[in-house]
Structures are given as C-alpha cells and as structure tokens.
Amino acid sequence: MSSTGRRLALGTAASSGLAALLALAADVRLHRTLQPVRRDWQRVPIAPRGATRLGISLRLPQVAAYGLALRPTLERLLDYPFEVLRLGAYWSHIEPAADHLEFDGLDWQVTAAARAGKQIILGLGALKNFGYPEFFVPRHRLAHALPERQLIRGEAYPELLGAACAFIQRLVERYRDQPAVIAWQVEHEAVDPLGLEHSWRLSRAFVQAEVDAVRQMDPSRPILLNGFLPASLPVLLSQWWQTRDQGDSLQVAQEVADIVGLDYYPRSALVGLGGLSAYLDGGGHRWNQARRERIFARARANGQRLMVSEGQAEPWEAVTVPPNRPRRVPWSCTPRDMIDTYNRCLGWSRAGPVLEAYLFWGAEWWLVREQRGDPSYLGAFARILTESS
C-alpha cells in the first residue's frame, strides 16, 4: 500500500486554510466500511489493453502480514497469464547482519518467475521499497534514526549513501545476466516522505547517485522511478506542501528515469468510526486531468515510457490489514472497483502515449479473500486477463 494516505494528516494540517478545508469537504464520503459481496464485477465491460502489458507486484511484507506462505503464494499467482511481475529486493531481508548476505529467497523468486515466462521488474530499493512499512535499511547500517522532517542528503550521510549504492550494484551484478529482468526500479516514491512513521525525505541528489550507480553496472536496461498521482484535492495539497522545496517523486521521475511509474489509488480511508469509515473518494474527478496530461505530453516529447506501477486492486482502509469478513468486502475497493480503476487508466492512453504496463496492486489480498470463501477478486483479475486482449 502506498504511504500517501498515512501522510495525509500531517500534510493537511500543514496546508491548513480555507482551500484545504473546502477540498476535504468535497472529497470525503462516509460509508459503511463493509459491503455485501456483489456480482456486478461479472458484468461490467473490460477495456481492451492493446499493447499494454498486465502484471502484479509481489510484496513480501504483505505476504507475512496476511499469514501466507511465500512459495505457494507466488506459485499460485504465476499460474495466471499476466506478463510482468515486480519483485522487491528488501535490503534488511537480504542483509540481516553485517557481512552476511542472503540471496536464496530472491534467487528463488526470480528463477520461478523466469520459468513461468514472466518479465521481471526488480525493485532495488535501497532505503525504500514497495510494501508497508516501505523502509528497509538494516539496523547495522544506520546507528540512529533519520531525523524527522529533514531532507536526507548524501553529503550528510556518506556512509549510508555508499552502502546503499554498493547494495544496489551488488544486486544488478547478480541479476543482470537474467534475461527475464527487463527493468530496475530505484527507491519507491523516491523523494516523498513515508508518513507519520517517517517524515524525512531523500534529496534528489541522493536518488540521482543511486540511479548513476545502477547505470554504471548496467547501461542497457531502463530504470523505473514511480510516484503517487493524487486522486483527491486534499492529497494533492498534502503532497505539494511536503515536497514543495524540490518537487515530488513524479517530477523527479520525469527528469531522471527511463520509465515513469504512476501509483493510482482512487479511494482510501481516513478514519474508522465503528461500522462506518470516512473515505477520500477521488475516482470520479476530472480536475487532476491537467497534471496527468502534462506528464503524458512530456513523456511523448522526451521519449519516456509510462506505466501504472500500482493500480488499486485491494482495499485501503484505516488499518494496515483490511478487515476480512466472510460475505463482506471493504468499501474502499471492491472487485468492481478493481475493474473500474483498470478501465479508467487504460483510457488515459487514448490521448497520449500507450501505457507500457499496468500492474495491479493487491494480489496477496485476492488469495486471502479466496481463503474466506470469496474468489471474486481473483475472478475479476482473470476476467481482465482474458477479455482485455
């Protein structure tokens, strides 16, 4: 799950004023948190994907949080005929102690995906990677917590930057001969804060040094940088306020990356109130079209590629692990919403460059729901794969 929703409270407070209050009022919806499982996902039309490749991300933190076993989880998902799999190289998992590296788990994931005929985007980190809590620096690499509300510059943390670059170069060296790997992702929402837990931000120069380290080891493969595309005005104001000194991750991606990844979540919970929740619902807005069109226009002018690196396909509730009740689904993302979000994003290509790929965010959740007797998320995914071609 992206961290932007968890950042909202700080950002909205910082950008307080009449405009922020009006925006918040316009976008907030109060709904029952859990809705009956419906079958409308079986009837909604599926947009053709054309040249856009479809895929998923495998998030090791969510595999653990949902109580799933890694190998059967990945093997089950690999049976579906998607094309692209994003894997994460989590620094603290691979380097649990000084001078001790454990590549076996990632080696197995890469090999299994390649054998299944999938194309792999490898998220290198180093500090940030996808999957909550999104921060994976080994404790032995950082004696003290990074200072909150500060810009983390390489010159102030030379040992950390050096270790991060060495780590990602070691990864590139290890996997660059694997033809299934088609791109490297550097950091995750690279220069945005991580939220209430971590309000510090990486500097552009810190991220640029990591990108340069990857290009030095492998100049042939493209580099992906991703960023959060706000769907509601309060999130937009929060994001602008917190990143106004050097721009947000999408701006940096447009300047540095070969592939710009858009993380898109139309609906997220702010707070739970018993059986009700307050949601930010920006799925039907047209106001954010202007920025999206600028991103597409710049990509077209500069020859950059675009993809949806995270398209919401699981609930985003006010708790880290969404409520999982039989015959009930959270309102923030039903199987129908999963299809609607895909359809909306595929429609963006009509007025700009074709999306390189669309990666659904939430595959582990689909398996958890199946365990509770609800295969509708997996069914919606299967429909999209089958009927979009």
**DSSP line for 291-358:** HHHHHHHHHHHHT-EEEEEEEE-S---SSSS----TTEEETT--HHHHHHHHHHHHHGGGGSSPPSEE
Q: Model confidence over 136-171: pLDDT tens digits?
A: 999 999 989 999 999 999 999 999 999 999 999 999
pLDDT value for 290: 80
Helix (H) or strand (E) holding 273: strand 267-273
pLDDT value for 254: 96
- C-alpha–C-alpha distance, residues 346 and 358, integer Å: 8
- C-alpha–C-alpha distance, residues 17 and 350, integer Å: 37
Question: Has domain 4-387 been given CATH number 3.20.20.80?
Answer: yes
Task: List the end-to-end C-alpha distance of the chain, in Å, as a whole number.
Answer: 28
Give me the residues of the chain with pLDDT under 70, please.
1-26, 283-287
**DSSP line for 193-253:** ---SS---EE-HHHHHHHHHHHHHH-SSS-EEEEEE---SHHHHHHHHHHHTTT--HHHHH
C-alpha to C-alpha distances, 134 to 148, 164, 273, nearest whole angstrom: 16, 15, 27
Q: Model confidence over 208-266: pLDDT tens digits?
A: 999 999 999 999 999 999 999 998 888 888 889 999 999 999 999 999 999 999 999 99
Are 94 and 136 in contact by the 8 Å Cβ rule? The answer is no
- C-alpha–C-alpha distance, residues 300 and 13, integer Å: 36
pLDDT value for 17: 47
pLDDT value for 1: 45
Enter the pTM of the model: 0.93
pLDDT value for 22: 53
pLDDT value for 9: 37
